[in-house]
């Protein structure tokens, strides 16, 4: 699976699993919200997101309920099939003032749109009497770049915390008798223990861990080593001793095949395939991994644990997120906010996410994750969400920066550039794209 497809999986399955269905899926024209407005008080709201037809069809229940509650509002969905095409189209629409009233924004683009001043501030409405979702209903860390200067410009519609799935059969075959989840509950899930298990798995002819090359895995590991990625607006990962140690551990692990990059595995022998065939002990991913397990694995063989720390104490883990936002130029701000508030509310998320593979972003809908008691430590997803972080605001504020960092790190993982030289180049790359501070 390519890096582009992998990003689509993480965003469209993990975070954008909250896609809703509309009675209409044709494209609109003209200014925001202008299409199909009647003179009888009825309003047509245009909204947009990315995803396949299957993604859309899953969420018919939300649209039906919304239409029942608000018969004066007709929802007109303008979907874009691929994540990589979605934001360029949206940016063009915003420039020409033809963008929808309400739209999704990925965590790697939210900073740009906030900086461009095209999104409506939401705090006053979220705290107002018509709101179905209050600012305090969400977890501060997952706002990421959707907040600037204390002002909220987007609400996380749902999430997918990055955790470590582990295969009990693979661990047992490698002679590992300790259970990572039990170690975590006892406060003894340390980076040293995790790396020790990875070494044993490699010695048994398996991969220790499979990672996708994205901030969720890379930065979670940096946090596990006690490192810093950003510090007061400056990218410090290449020089911070513990962050550098984490990145070197990744580079060494890829080189000696203790780790595998999911981005580089062939389509017919993908990360999910390797994992369900017990060829790897750990697989970093979100709740969406369940789908792959159900297609070919033994459910009882798998469980989850957060990324470890140096001391065994919990660390902030990465959380994949996307955001629902309002077009600053919408002609129907009241109705647009009504849709946004219902969409991200507890009831809205319960309708949209039931039976899916995302994790709600709002407090009070935890039963969506814990019902069915799978995996055994499903609560881990909620623990990581509650204390976790979406991609750093300083990073997502620079268009293309996250992708550039990931692409450069991949060169290091593949051995195309030496580690020390690669770190120097990485610092120069980020400094050049970010420009002078302030």
- 221-244 pLDDT, tens per residue? 999 999 999 999 999 999 999 999
Domain for residue 77, yes or no? Answer: yes
- 128-173 pLDDT, tens per residue? 998 999 888 999 999 999 999 999 999 999 999 999 999 999 999 9
- Shared domain for 377 and 297, answered yes or no, is no
Find where tokens 């990073």 sit.
395
Domain for residue 204, yes or no? Answer: yes
Residue 4 confidence (pLDDT): 33
- Shared domain for 340 and 429, answered yes or no, is no
Q: Identify whether the C-beta of residue 30 lies closer than 8 Å to the C-beta of residue 98.
A: yes
- Shared domain for 175 and 99, answered yes or no, is no
Question: What mean pLDDT is predicted for residues 340-357?
Answer: 93
Q: Which run of H or of E encompasses 419?
A: helix 419-434
- Shared domain for 257 and 357, answered yes or no, is no
26 pLDDT higher than 50:
no
pLDDT grade for 210, boundaries at 50, 70 and 90? very high
Domain for residue 183, yes or no? Answer: yes
**Residue range(s) defining the domain that contains residue 21:** 3-161+320-385
Residue 403 confidence (pLDDT): 94
Domain for residue 390, yes or no? Answer: no
- 270-290 pLDDT, tens per residue? 999 999 999 999 999 999 999
Domain for residue 391, yes or no? Answer: no
Question: What mean pLDDT is predicted for residues 247-258?
Answer: 98
Mean pLDDT is lowest, of 6-10, 29-33, 266-270, 294-298, for 6-10
- Shared domain for 9 and 109, answered yes or no, is yes
Domain for residue 143, yes or no? Answer: yes
pLDDT grade for 204, boundaries at 50, 70 and 90? very high
90 pLDDT higher than 80:
yes
pLDDT grade for 39, boundaries at 50, 70 and 90? low
- Shared domain for 275 and 176, answered yes or no, is yes
Residue 51 confidence (pLDDT): 86
- Shared domain for 226 and 262, answered yes or no, is yes
Residue 28 confidence (pLDDT): 38
SS (H, E, C) 175-213: CCCCCHHHHHHCCCCEHHHHHHHHHHHHHCCCEEEEECC
How many domains does the chain divide into? 2
Q: How far apart, in whole angstroms, are the C-alpha atoms of residue 51 and residue 134?
A: 27
- Shared domain for 22 and 127, answered yes or no, is yes
- 373-384 pLDDT, tens per residue? 899 999 999 999
Residue 7 confidence (pLDDT): 41
pLDDT grade for 342, boundaries at 50, 70 and 90? very high
Domain for residue 44, yes or no? Answer: yes
- Shared domain for 115 and 9, answered yes or no, is yes
Residue 352: name the closest of 66, 146, 95, 24 by CA.
Answer: 66
pLDDT grade for 107, boundaries at 50, 70 and 90? very high
Q: How far apart, in whole angstroms, are the C-alpha atoms of residue 48 and residue 40?
A: 25
pLDDT grade for 437, boundaries at 50, 70 and 90? low
Q: How far apart, in whole angstroms, are the C-alpha atoms of residue 99 and residue 30?
A: 8
pLDDT grade for 267, boundaries at 50, 70 and 90? confident
27 pLDDT higher than 50:
no
DSSP designation for 311: S
Mean pLDDT of the chain: 90
The model's pTM? 0.90
Question: What mean pLDDT is predicted for residues 400-417?
Answer: 97
Tokens of 131: 């709101």
Residue 20 confidence (pLDDT): 34
Residue 41 confidence (pLDDT): 79
Tokens of 134: 């209050």
- Shared domain for 182 and 43, answered yes or no, is no
Domain for residue 293, yes or no? Answer: yes
Q: How many CA atoms lie within 13 A of 425 on its CB side?
A: 16
- Shared domain for 357 and 282, answered yes or no, is no
Q: Which run of H or of E encompasses 155?
A: strand 155-161
Helix/strand/coil for 164? strand
Report which of residues 180 and 40 the model is more confident about.
180
- Shared domain for 336 and 244, answered yes or no, is no
Q: Which residues are CB-contacts of 7 (< 8 A; sequence separation ≥ 6)?
A: 83, 84, 214
Residue 182 belongs to domain with CATH number: 3.40.190.10
């Amino acid at each position: 699976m390519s890096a582009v497809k992998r990003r689509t999986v993480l965003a469209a399955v993990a975070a954008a699993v909250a896609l809703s269905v509309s009675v209409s899926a044709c494209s609109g024209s003209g200014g925001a919200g202008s299409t199909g407005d009647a003179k009888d008080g009825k309003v047509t709201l245009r909204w947009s997101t990315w995803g396949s037809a299957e993604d859309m069809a899953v969420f018919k229940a939300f649209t039906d309920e919304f239409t029942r509650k608000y018969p004066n509002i007709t929802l007109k969905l303008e979907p874009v099939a691929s994540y990589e095409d979605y934001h360029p189209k949206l940016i063009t629409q915003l420039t020409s003032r033809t963008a929808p009233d309400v739209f999704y924004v990925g965590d790697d683009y939210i900073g740009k749109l906030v900086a461009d001043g095209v999104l409506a501030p939401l705090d006053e409405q979220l705290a107002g009497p018509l709101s179905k979702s209050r600012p305090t209903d969400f977890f501060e860390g997952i706002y990421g770049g959707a907040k600037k200067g204390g002002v909220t410009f987007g609400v996380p519609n749902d999430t997918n915390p990055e955790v470590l799935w582990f295969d009990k059969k693979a661990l047992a075959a490698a002679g590992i008798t300790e259970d990572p989840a039990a170690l975590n509950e006892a406060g003894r899930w340390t980076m040293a223990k995790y790396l020790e298990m990875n070494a044993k798995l490699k010695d048994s002819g398996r991969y220790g861990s499979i990672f996708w090359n994205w901030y969720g895995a890379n930065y979670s590991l940096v946090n596990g080593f006690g490192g810093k990625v950003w510090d007061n607006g400056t990218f410090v990962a290449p020089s911070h001793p513990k962050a550098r140690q984490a990145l070197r551990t990744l580079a060494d692990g890829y080189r000696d095949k203790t780790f595998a990059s999911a981005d580089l595995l062939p389509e017919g022998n993908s990360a999910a395939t390797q994992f369900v065939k017990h060829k790897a002990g750990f697989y970093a991913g979100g709740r969406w991994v369940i789908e792959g397990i159900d297609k070919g694995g033994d459910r009882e063989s798998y469980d989850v644990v957060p990324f470890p720390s140096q001391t065994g104490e919990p660390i902030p883990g990465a959380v994949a997120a996307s955001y629902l936002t309002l077009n600053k130029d919408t002609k129907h701000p009241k109705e647009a906010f009504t849709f946004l508030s219902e969409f991200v509310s507890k009831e809205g998320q319960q309708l949209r996410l039931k039976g899916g593979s995302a994790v709600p972003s709002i407090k009070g809908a935890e039963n969506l994750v814990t019902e069915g008691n799978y995996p055994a430590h499903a609560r881990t997803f909620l623990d990581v969400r509650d204390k976790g972080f979406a991609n750093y605001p300083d990073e997502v504020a620079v268009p293309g920066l996250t992708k550039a960092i990931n692409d450069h790190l991949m060169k290091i993982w593949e051995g195309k550039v030496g580690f020390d030289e690669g770190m120097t180049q990485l610092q120069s790359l980020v400094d050049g794209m970010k420009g002078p501070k302030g």
